[in-house]
Amino acid sequence: MKNLILAIVLALTAFTASAAQNALDSAGAVKTLHKRYLVVVNSASAALTEGEFVGLDLTLDDGISVDYLYANQVGALCMIVDVSCAVGARCLCQTFGITEVADFNAAQGNGVAGGLGFANTGGQVVSGVSVVATHSAVGYFLDASSASGDIQFYITLPGGE
C-alpha cells in the first residue's frame, strides 16, 4: 500500500514537472510562449484584417464589439488574427504574446528591437520615435525593421497578461 501511494506521488510529481516545462525543447530553447485571445464582433464599416489593432466600439456598449482606432480613444483592445473579419462576424483577437503578423508602418520611423510600439489610428504598429499623444502603446518590437509590412511583435495590452 505504501509503495502504491509512493508511486502515485512520484507519478504526479513527474507529470507536474513535465507540464511546467513543456514550453521548452530538449535543449532548453523556448518552443512556445503563452498567448491570450478574445472573441470579438466586427462593428466597423468594413472588414478588419490580420495584424490590425482595434478598440472597443463604445457606441454599442456590449463589451464585445470592436471598431477602428480613433484619435483620443482610450486605447487598443486587441489585434485581429483572422485573415479577414467581415462586418458582423465573430473573430479571434490577440491581447498578449508573440505575433508574426503585426502590421508595421515604417513611414513614421524605424522599429527598434526592444523598442516600444504604438498603434496608430489606422490600427498599424508604429515606432515610438514619432508618436503623438493619440497613439496607444501596444507592445515591443522583437526585431529591428525599416520596411512596412508584417513584423514579429510582442503584444502587451492591459488585461492580456
Residue 3 lies in a domain: no
Residue 61 lies in a domain: yes
- CA dist., res. 28 & res. 112, Å (int): 27
Residue 92 lies in a domain: yes
Domain span at 135: 33-156
Residue 117 lies in a domain: yes
Of 146, 142, 53, 141, give the one whose Cα is nearest residue 105: 146
pLDDT of residue 64: 93
Residue 94 lies in a domain: yes
Where does residue 61 fall: left (phi above 0), alpha (psi -120 to 50 degrees), or beta otherwise?
left
Query: What 3-state DSSP class applies to 99?
Result: strand
Tens of pLDDT along 40-91? Answer: 999 999 999 999 999 999 888 898 999 998 876 768 999 999 999 999 999 9
C-alpha cell at 131: 508618436
Greatest distance between any 2 Cα atoms in the chain: 71
Residues 67/79, Cβ–Cβ less than 8 Å: no
